[in-house]
């Protein structure tokens, strides 16, 4: 029943197709889902039409930071404060569709933002998944965006206040990690996880295959992009990180589902590791870039486009996407 979707990325809203997958057929869900922080149009998952949102009000013209980062934590209206609830409902809308497709005892890794991951956890728990852990993906570096308060006051001509508040800043600490919620589909009541491994071939972790510099891995995962890793998606994740999570929880021949593929990192990682993959992507440009990325892996050809086509590359962003 999964044959139409297996080992390809389907251009579609995943919610239209998830119900068509075979029940109990997926061994791993691994997805870097939209974080609901208004990073781009595909990340706006609420109905708030407040003109300040996404930098549309006259006061925001020319200030690109609002467009990238949304609003200050404080919010500007009740509608702004409802955004989290609406994001949770959106997560619920597809988590419910995923539950029956997973094998008992299967893992689900869901990437999220530090300020919205609790919404994902609530939605997944309400759906019936169990939270196993919150992993931290530790990045190579992070921008410290906190403004110096003395400079802010200097610009306002408030010299005394600037002197009094020298050394203080407005903002958070440098965001050097992103959370990954690790869930499990419950296994048979009365059984154990070891029974589940025997019954469904899933539920254990392959620690020997995932050694980090000769030691067992911890729940802080330090992975970065390789020098020659092409970047075509603003939210792209390092291939080595995705490969690690697949190796940790699955065996060759098992199936990984990623309904929010972006540039196709999960598909490429699965292919490298001889796992099957099922993927969806809603934006045609990302979908085309992902298929071309798979083409470059050799073997099966996914696109009809001439080989010389070059996707737009993201060089190392000045201000990285940090959730």
Q: Between residues 248 and 257, which has the closer beta carbon with respect to ligand SAM?
A: 257
- Kindly report the number of other CB atoms within 10 A of residue 75's CB atom: 17
Task: Kindly list the distances between the CA atom of residue 98 and the CA atoms of 125, 145, 184, 287, in Å, as whole numbers in the listed order.
Answer: 13, 37, 12, 21
Give 30-76 as a DSSP string: EEE---SS-SSGGG--S----TTGGG-SGGGTT-HHHHHH-S-TT-S
| 112 vs 117: CA distance, rounded Å | 5
Of the candidate spans 77-85, 151-159, 256-264, 306-314, the one that interacts with ligand SAM by CB under 6 A turns out to be: 256-264
Of the candidate spans 65-73, 126-134, 200-208, 261-269, the one that interacts with ligand SAM by CB under 6 A turns out to be: 261-269
Distance in Å, CB of 249 to ligand SAM, minimum: 17
| 186 vs 182: CA distance, rounded Å | 13
Binder of ligand SAM out of 129, 153, 187, 260 (CB under 6 A): 260
Distance in Å, CB of 165 to ligand SAM, minimum: 37
* Cβ contacts of 85 within 8 Å, gap of 6 or more: 119
Binder of ligand SAM out of 286, 291, 292, 294 (CB under 6 A): 286
- Per the CB < 8 A criterion, the answer to whether 252 and 275 are in contact is yes
Q: Between residues 281 and 322, which has the closer beta carbon with respect to ligand SAM?
A: 281
Binder of ligand SAM out of 79, 283, 295, 320 (CB under 6 A): 283
Binding mask of the shown chain, residues 204 to 233, with x at each position contacting ligand SAM by CB under 6 A: -----------------------------x
Q: Between residues 153 and 289, which has the closer beta carbon with respect to ligand SAM?
A: 289
Q: Which residues of 131-160 are buried (b: 16+ CB within 10 A; e: fewer)?
A: eeeebbbebeeeeeeeebbbebbeeeeeee
46 binds ligand SAM (CB under 6 A): no
101 binds ligand SAM (CB under 6 A): no
80 binds ligand SAM (CB under 6 A): no
Q: What ranges make up the beta strands (E) of 93-214?
A: 102-111, 130-138, 147-148, 169-170, 177-184
* Half-sphere CA count of 179, side-chain side, radius 13 A: 18
Binder of ligand SAM out of 26, 280, 291, 302 (CB under 6 A): 280
Of the candidate spans 12-20, 115-123, 196-204, 218-226, the one that interacts with ligand SAM by CB under 6 A turns out to be: 12-20
Closest CA to 185 of 96, 94, 99: 99
Binder of ligand SAM out of 105, 112, 179, 262 (CB under 6 A): 262
281 binds ligand SAM (CB under 6 A): yes
32 binds ligand SAM (CB under 6 A): yes
Residues that bind ligand SAM (CB under 6 A): 13-15, 32, 34, 42, 233, 235-237, 259-260, 262-263, 265, 280-283, 286
């Amino acid at each position: 029943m999964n044959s139409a979707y297996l080992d390809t990325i389907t251009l579609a809203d995943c919610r239209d197709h998830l119900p068509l997958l075979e029940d109990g057929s997926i061994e791993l869900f691994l997805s870097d889902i939209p974080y609901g922080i208004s990073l781009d149009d595909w990340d706006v998952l609420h109905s708030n039409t407040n003109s300040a949102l996404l930098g549309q009000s006259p006061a925001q013209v020319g200030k690109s930071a609002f467009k990238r980062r949304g609003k200050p934590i404080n919010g500007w209206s009740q509608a702004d404060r409802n955004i989290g609830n609406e994001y949770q409902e959106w997560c619920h809308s597809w988590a419910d569709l995923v539950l029956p497709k997973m094998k008992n005892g299967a893992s689900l890794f869901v990437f999220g933002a530090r300020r919205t991951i609790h919404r994902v956890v609530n939605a997944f728990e309400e759906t019936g998944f169990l939270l196993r852990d919150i992993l931290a993906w530790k990045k190579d570096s992070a921008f410290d965006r906190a403004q110096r308060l003395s400079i802010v006051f200097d610009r306002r001509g408030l010299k005394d206040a600037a002197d009094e508040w020298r050394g203080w800043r407005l903002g958070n600490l440098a965001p050097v990690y992103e959370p990954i919620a690790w869930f499990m589909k419950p296994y048979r009541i009365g059984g154990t996880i070891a029974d589940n491994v025997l019954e469904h071939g899933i539920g254990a972790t392959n620690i020997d295959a995932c050694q980090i510099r000769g030691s067992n891995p911890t729940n802080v995962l330090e992975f970065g992009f390789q020098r020659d890793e092409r970047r075509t998606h603003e939210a792209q994740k390092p291939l080595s990180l995705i490969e690690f999570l697949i190796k940790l929880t699955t065996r060759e021949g098992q199936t990984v589902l990623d309904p929010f593929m972006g540039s196709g990192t999960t598909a490429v990682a699965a292919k490298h590791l001889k796992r099957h993959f099922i993927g969806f992507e809603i934006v045609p440009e990302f979908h085309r870039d992902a298929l071309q990325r798979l083409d470059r892996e050799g073997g099966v050809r996914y696109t009809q486009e001439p080989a010389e086509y070059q996707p737009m590359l993201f060089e190392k962003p000045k201000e990285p996407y940090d959730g």
